[in-house]
Amino acid sequence: MPLVYCGACSHAPGITGRAERADTQTRQALETAFRRMGDEMRATRPDALVVIAAEHFANFFMNNMPAFAIGMADSYEGPIEDEAFLRIRRTTVPGNKALSRRLIETVMQTVDVAYAEEWKFDHGISVPLHFLTPDYDLPIVPANINCQGPPLAPLARAWAFGEALRRAVDAVPERIALIGTGGLSHWPATPDSGKINHEWDREFLRRWSANDREALLSYTDAEIYREAGQGGFEIRTFIAAAAAAGGATGRIDFCEPVPIFAVSCTLGSFELPPAQQNTPSS
Amino acid sequence: MPLVYCGACSHAPGITGRAERADTQTRQALETAFRRMGDEMRATRPDALVVIAAEHFANFFMNNMPAFAIGMADSYEGPIEDEAFLRIRRTTVPGNKALSRRLIETVMQTVDVAYAEEWKFDHGISVPLHFLTPDYDLPIVPANINCQGPPLAPLARAWAFGEALRRAVDAVPERIALIGTGGLSHWPATPDSGKINHEWDREFLRRWSANDREALLSYTDAEIYREAGQGGFEIRTFIAAAAAAGGATGRIDFCEPVPIFAVSCTLGSFELPPAQQNTPSS
Amino acid sequence: MSLYQVQKLIYQLNRDPRTRQRYADERDAVLGDYDLTQEEIGALAKPDIGLLYVLGVNGQLLMHFAALHRIEWTDYLERMRQGLKEYGPVREGVYAATGYEGVEAHDARLKAERETR
Amino acid sequence: MSLYQVQKLIYQLNRDPRTRQRYADERDAVLGDYDLTQEEIGALAKPDIGLLYVLGVNGQLLMHFAALHRIEWTDYLERMRQGLKEYGPVREGVYAATGYEGVEAHDARLKAERETR
Ligand SMILES: [Fe+3]
Ligand SMILES: [Fe+3]
């Protein structure tokens, strides 16, 4: 049935791993906003949550780097990082292999996604879940867009991936929620970690909230790299979520630059028509 | 510049590994045809050979199974199989990383290919090269279509992959040859190994020689599995080669059922316009 | 349900000389790295090629696992046939048996066809 | 030219407890499994985080390699800066440094902006 929830959020490892080094007020406001997003998402009574992530060499390496991937297992483990580094306890997260397979088969009609029968979550998924589904009681369908190792798929294909996921979600009987998760401008794990182009982020989010496909796809990777750093390549996850929202406009629930977390911490969601939230598809 | 050669051939491991168990006359005719194909291909003076293969778990497994992949390295090793089993000496085969990257970047505009900075050739590439480039002096760009582990990409996407490769090849200054390599109907590595549906193969090759896109894409996987076995899924490589030929019609140079090799051993090539073989692109 | 794990182990053995060495030196430890049922462990350790085939192991993986145990091609095919008799039809995957006259009969038929052409 | 091999080793270390154990027990043997230059071997063995950074190792790999050697976050950032001074700009990849005022100065500026809002 039609998608019941569609949003996007940050996943920077500092949000949990270096939590106490941020300004207390900012940090509390961020965590509150994250929990509110989780409440809203779970209030739509999803049977599963699709997470469009941008992982960081936990599963995919240049020996076989898929542009797009979807997990297809009944459970996943995470986080892969040192628990003390990320301050999130390693755990087993439920999946749904049969549902994954049905989604993958539809996505494959238009987007050439790799499937993965195992998947170790890194902070890219574990940080969002820590706040959004703290009890790890909602089955996850992990999806990935390569934002780390060029050559990267063009933004238009990230859009196509979001559209394909939406078609796939709409075609299954389950109630599905979806989030994209990535950073906007940032230079993570470099000497410039903490640098943020907040103006650029605001303009990106303006286009994103308006779900302005043309404006979102008009960035080039050279421009992203110059203005938003190699971390900015992760906007692909936000773009895919916008495509999955099928033209709905978005709302920014939080957006604050937090240098010690290395990004503008961002939470947003799309205003899906109420009919899509409550009635079964025809 | 435009593609200089486009063909397709079988790669069954028995062709080398169980060579002496076939009828001598058939075997000699096949090897002669293979060598002639190599001569023809090399006569077009290619700078590199793209091989669209269907590998058998040498590089890709269900932990991260790409629908389509392209190698991006300066050399490759193969065959991965026991040398005594395949009777092909393990060797290093030249690649061209920079050329691969340029091809991949164009393919990625429309097809979401995984890239691979290492690649171990299995019989799917090593058997053809053993006959076509016995001196291993032509740089290879390996490409793969998942034909082993369902869910598989639909035939229409294999066609799109061939078209994307053709666009990519036409966009580089190098002279590029391309072959697809796979089996037609077969039931390899099962108790039915040796079973061949030669009528089905002939009909497939009729469609292939005519480069009849609609007829080639009209097969369903259920039908292929029933009539041509799980080995028949490899027709994706022939279909991608037909798409890369850009509408040119094909010629079947050899097609004989050889039960001990488990397939109808097949060699064919497309009649590319002579202009494409000799003049630089505009 | 752990066919994925069985196949992953065989994939690693086929691909990776170090895993092969460890499998020769300390097979039980290697088996312990995978999430396997007792039936699967037994089939791998013996090895029971027929049972592995019936469990659904892809032939492109299984034939090399057989070769690793110095099981010759014809013997490999025969063991799969025995597996079908002993354990019933293939339970998973796309490598099911569908019935075949056999290479010799097939060869003879093709030869006859060629002679009457 | 073997940046791929350096990164692959770090990827395996980050991901695979067995490789980490072997690296602790017999580092040279593990290094021998990869096709590395002497400069790369030296940088990995020391470890010279600054040089690895300049060689082009992706930060998402390098930060965990640093953590494996119990190099704390702030120290990790400082070692990359030292690497730039000692060996010059990043030679490959997309993790080049572009200049930054630093987290403290940035924080102070944001705080001032918030107060004047
Ligand atoms: Fe990230
Ligand atoms: Fe094959």
CATH of the domain at B66: 3.40.830.10
Name the residue facing B191 among C8, C84, C110 (closest C-beta): C84
- B154-170: b or e for each residue (b if 16 or more CB lie within 10 Å)? bbebbbbbbbbbbbbbb
Structural domains of chain A, count: 1
Chain C residues near residue B62 by CB distance under 8 angstroms: 4, 7-8
Span D35-42, mean pLDDT?
A: 96
Query: What are the pLDDT digits (tens) for A26-75?
Result: 999 999 999 999 999 999 999 999 999 999 999 999 999 999 999 999 99
Residues spanned by the domain of D83: 3-115
Name the phi and psi angles at D11, rounded to 5. -55, -45
Q: Residue D63 Cα, ligand 1 centroid: separation in angstroms? A: 13
Q: Is the pLDDT of residue A199 over 60?
A: yes
Judge: B189–C73 Cβ closer than 8 Å, yes or no: no
How far apart, in whole angstroms, are the C-alpha atoms of residue A69 and residue A82? 24
Nearest ligand to the C-alpha atom of residue B232: 2
Quick one: closest CA in D to A18, which residue?
D73
Nearest ligand to the C-alpha atom of residue B183: 2
Burial class (CB in 10 A: 0-12, 13-18, 19+), D90: buried
> Residue A275: pLDDT band by 50, 70, 90 thresholds?
low
Quick one: closest CA in B to A61, which residue?
B116
The confidence score (pLDDT) of residue B280 equals 46
Span B265-270, mean pLDDT?
A: 98
Q: Is the pLDDT of residue B29 over 60?
A: yes
Chains contacting chain A through 3 or more C-beta pairs under 8 A: B, D
Yes or no: say if A123 and A183 are a contact pair by the CB < 8 Å rule: no
Chains contacting chain C through 3 or more C-beta pairs under 8 A: B
| Cβ of residue D4 closer than 8 Å to a chain A Cβ | yes
Judge: C60–B257 Cβ closer than 8 Å, yes or no: no
Give the pair of three-digit tokens for residue B247.
Answer: 């509408």
Span A212-236, mean pLDDT?
A: 98
Judge: B114–A114 Cβ closer than 8 Å, yes or no: yes
Question: For a pLDDT cut of 90, what percent of chain B falls above it?
Answer: 95
Quick one: closest CA in B to C75, which residue?
B191
Judge: B157–A108 Cβ closer than 8 Å, yes or no: yes
Query: What are the pLDDT digits (tens) for B95-110?
Result: 999 999 999 999 999 9
Quick one: closest CA in B to A66, which residue?
B114
Judge: B116–A60 Cβ closer than 8 Å, yes or no: no
Chain A residues near residue B112 by CB distance under 8 angstroms: 66-68, 111-113, 153, 157, 161
Span B6-15, mean pLDDT?
A: 97
Name the phi and psi angles at A253, rounded to 5. -95, -20
Q: What is the CA radius of gyration of chain B?
A: 17
Judge: D110–A62 Cβ closer than 8 Å, yes or no: no
- CA B101 to chain C, closest CA, distance in angstroms equals 26
Q: What is the CATH number of the domain that holds C57?
A: 1.10.700.10
Q: Is the pLDDT of residue A276 over 50?
A: no
Quick one: closest CA in C to B78, which residue?
C15
Yes or no: say if A169 and A178 are a contact pair by the CB < 8 Å rule: yes
> Residue A214: pLDDT band by 50, 70, 90 thresholds?
very high
Judge: A192–D100 Cβ closer than 8 Å, yes or no: yes
Q: Residue C63 Cα, ligand 2 centroid: separation in angstroms? A: 13
Chain B residues near residue C94 by CB distance under 8 angstroms: 150, 225, 230
SS3 A145: strand
| Cβ of residue C11 closer than 8 Å to a chain B Cβ | yes
How far apart, in whole angstroms, are the C-alpha atoms of residue B147 and residue B53? 9
Structural domains of chain D, count: 1
Q: Is the pLDDT of residue D117 over 90?
A: no
| Cβ of residue C96 closer than 8 Å to a chain B Cβ | yes
SS3 B281: coil
How far apart, in whole angstroms, are the C-alpha atoms of residue B218 and residue B154? 11
Chain B residues near residue A71 by CB distance under 8 angstroms: none
Burial class (CB in 10 A: 0-12, 13-18, 19+), B225: middle
Name the phi and psi angles at A8, rounded to 5. -155, 150
B interface residues, C as partner, C-beta within 8 Å: 18, 23, 56-58, 61-63, 80-82, 85, 120, 148-150, 187-196, 225, 229-230, 257, 259-260
> Residue C116: pLDDT band by 50, 70, 90 thresholds?
confident
SS3 D42: helix
- CA B230 to chain C, closest CA, distance in angstroms equals 6
Q: Give how far Cα B71 sits from Cα of A273, B150, D42, D57, D73, Å.
A: 44, 22, 29, 21, 36
H or E segment to which residue A213 belongs: helix A213-217
The confidence score (pLDDT) of residue B241 equals 98
H-type alpha helices, A53-154: 83-86, 97-107, 123-132
Nearest ligand to the C-alpha atom of residue A183: 1
How far apart, in whole angstroms, are the C-alpha atoms of residue D4 and residue D24? 22
Q: Is the pLDDT of residue C117 over 80?
A: no
Q: Is the pLDDT of residue D61 over 70?
A: yes
Q: Is the pLDDT of residue A279 over 90?
A: no
- CA B154 to chain A, closest CA, distance in angstroms equals 6
